[in-house]
Structure 1
């Protein structure tokens, strides 16, 4: 329990904080569902659930709020609690937003080589960055800083799976089904999501199974990540020891929040395909999203082709994980991509052909 929680004043503050976060969730507009213009395959449709429209620009916004609510209810956050997290990504941006909403200091412990643009996104939401090396030591450093200050480490990789409210009407699974119903569509055949902490695929999969709609969940996984080989081998202890090059998804180990029992398919996606696909998504729809959304689009085309081959009709929904503005100097920059050795021409041609004709010609997971 964080220091200073227990007296009447502190409990009153916690009650107000919970009310504030619940009111914030109720007031937040649902993210849009957009149709992707496909010429084929016949009888199939592709929709984008655009989570980049969240207030902090990514699907991490809702889980971050759930982490705060869970910690408040557990008595781990009070009016004077300093908050810490070990990440430089979208989760830290969202956590900084909610910490500022509650008037609490927030520190993201980030690898020393974290770029200025990523630090700036956290700082713009009121957080501060604490660079630390080696990169894999940031998790223990965040916990030690919290302990030394009498604060609280939000520790999303360990806690987010239990914190996420996957049953509620504002959950991502509920919104996907509700959006399609409003559009006059039945439940989708597939939902395609990326996997970082594993919380999103678990939350969506649990909700869909609770509803009994028959929708299957496909997870896309980049190179060097543990989820595809661990899932294929049914070995949750699988590790790679290597970082993902696709920001937002991929982990060197299978994180605790990942629930393989609600995942029907894991699709390995080459990194070059993820980058080509994010650019194709922008060119076709105008949606400028991050590279994890490119992975999802590649995966969505794969399952649409599978549906065509098996004579299955219906819709596929892919989740757009985050906005692409912060990637202008990296994944959207030709010089940066060339320095990585990624040749985008082949996968771009594959995607353009599929969008125009419905002919894929790429083996699942290739």
Structure 2
């Protein structure tokens, strides 16, 4: 088999997998404290690999194949805190390629098990800031291909169409009372989702703004603030990794396009996880921490709309299931070890859902206009 024939066969396998997969659900949430404002969650946990990253992994593989970066002898390598690695392991197995995930040693055991279930191997790194360099080194020493989600996420995704997450949201909203969302709220991991949402909304001339909710330990918010001030500082770094797995980064990533985002908020981890518990109780099933970070962004957007006397809709993303976090977010001992207040944060979220104020949060951008 020639390399060209192998590549076209691999692309057909991925496209066939797409045809076998249904779209993800758009779930309305009851939001009694904000009459006239409808809230929806795009449930990305229903993908075959259980998270929003399934879309990204598929796009990254198609991008790498079209560029000729993969061949029958390739080992696929990725720097990932878990969900992207799970999805890339799935597509690697589909194509018969070995896969290695370079990830923080603190990654949940459930995610490690999910990667191994898909046939991947895990290379654990003590310092989360080292995973990118370790992935590059591993690619060089093994002759493998480093997928590098943080560099290629925004360009690998076809943001104009091809059933990307933005196109899917707008199609599913067509029969709702407010079919064009006033806000779409997401959280930055690579930055690929916020770039896709922002570009698509502008390309289709929709009056929708994108709000990014950044977790407590991450540099994206600070970078965004510097960019809005006209002095973008891509050299910003932070110490340690985000406690909200899958989002937040200790360095500015190439796929985060600040100009595609209309506003940002910095969300304390305690509030993210309280919001996660609230959404879980409303849905009757566990969701992950990044969904909670998004939900705090939803509350902020709803409060801004309510204060301005506006009605409309807000769409956010249910990124993954809480099943992968039994040893952390759903373990009371983990909160004690991390020193995170549970009861106080739960009360804040409960009051905010009923229309009460959120505590002062760091924000930047066009939130109030």
| TM-score clears 0.5 | yes
Q: Deviations over 1:206-240 (max 9, x none)?
A: 11111111100000011121111221222241322
Once the two structures are overlaid, the 10-residue window that deviates more, 93-102 or 19-28, is: 19-28
Q: Report what 1:340 is aligned to.
A: 338
Q: Is the CA contact 1:241–1:253 (under 8 Å) kept in the aligned structure 2?
A: no
CA contact under 8 A between 2:85 and 2:115: conserved in structure 1? yes
- Aligned equivalents of 2:225 and 2:90: distance in 1? 37
Alignment of 1:232 with 2:230, yes or no, is no
User: In structure 1, which of residues 25, 48, 56 is the aligned counterpart of residue 18 of structure 2?
Assistant: 25
Of 167, 176, 186, the residue aligned with 1:174 is 167
Q: Which residue of 2 aligns with 1:312?
A: 310
Aligned equivalent of 2:351:
353
Distance 1:303 1:114 in 2: 31
Choose the corresponding residue for 2:148, options 144, 155, 162.
155
| 3-state SS in 2 of match to 1:318 | strand
Q: Note if 1:185 corresponds to 2:178.
A: yes
1:220 and 2:218 are equivalent in the alignment: no
Structure 2 SS opposite 1:84? strand
Determine the C-alpha separation between the residues in 1 that align with 2:109 and 2:61.
26
Aligned CA-pair RMSD: 1.7
- Equivalent runs, 1:125-274 vs 2, <5 Å: 125-234=118-227, 235-237=232-234, 238-274=236-272
CA contact (8 A) 2:128 2:240 kept: no
Deviation at 1:350, TM superposition (A): 2.4
The gaps in structure 2 that reach 5 residues or longer are 364-369
| Contact map agreement 1:88 1:119 (CA 8 A) in 2 | no
Are residue 11 (structure 1) and residue 11 (structure 2) matched?
A: no
Given the two structures, how large is their TM-score scaled by the length of structure 2? 0.92
Distance in 1 between residues matched to 2:358 and 2:128, nearest whole Å: 39
Please state how far the C-alpha of 1:286 moved relative to its aligned partner: 1.7
CA deviations 1:108-143 (Å, max 9, x no partner) are 123345454332111011101123454433322222
In 2, the alpha carbon distance for the partners of 1:196 and 1:23 equals 28
* 2:117 corresponding residue in structure 1: 124
Deviation at 1:164, TM superposition (A): 1.2
The residue that corresponds to 1:76 in the other structure is 69
My pick for the range that moved more, 225-234 or 186-195, is 225-234
Task: Give distance in 1, aligned partners of 2:16 and 2:108.
Answer: 34
Q: Give the drift of 1:354.
A: 3.3
**Do residues 67 (structure 1) and 34 (structure 2) align?**
no
**Which residues in structure 2 correspond to 1:26-41 (within 5 Å)?**
26-41=19-34
- Please report how far the alpha carbon of residue 182 of structure 1 lies from its aligned counterpart in structure 2 after TM superposition: 3.6
| Segment drifting more, 157-166 vs 274-283 | 157-166
Contact 2:184 2:314 in 1 (8 A): yes
Structure 1: stretches of 5+ with no match in the other structure: 1-7
Give the distance between the partners of 2:306 and 2:127, measured in 1 at CA: 47
Q: Aligned equivalents of 2:157 and 2:284: distance in 1?
A: 31
What residue number does 1:5 align with? none
The alignment partner of 1:201 has SS state of helix
Which residue does the alignment assign to 1:299? 297
Report how far residue 337 of structure 1 moved: 1.0
Contact 2:274–2:345 (CA under 8 A) maintained in structure 1 = yes
Looking at structure 1, the residues matched to 105 and 351 of structure 2 have their Cα atoms a distance apart, in angstroms, of 42
- Shift of the 287–113 alpha-carbon distance from structure 1 to 2, 3 Å rule, reads closer
Q: Is this contact kept in 1: 2:83–2:111, CA < 8 A?
A: no
Alpha-carbon distance change, 113 to 223 in structure 1, aligned in 2, over 3 angstroms: closer
Q: 1:184 to 1:16 in 2, by over 3 A?
A: farther
Contact kept in structure 2, 1:86 and 1:139, CA below 8 Å:
yes
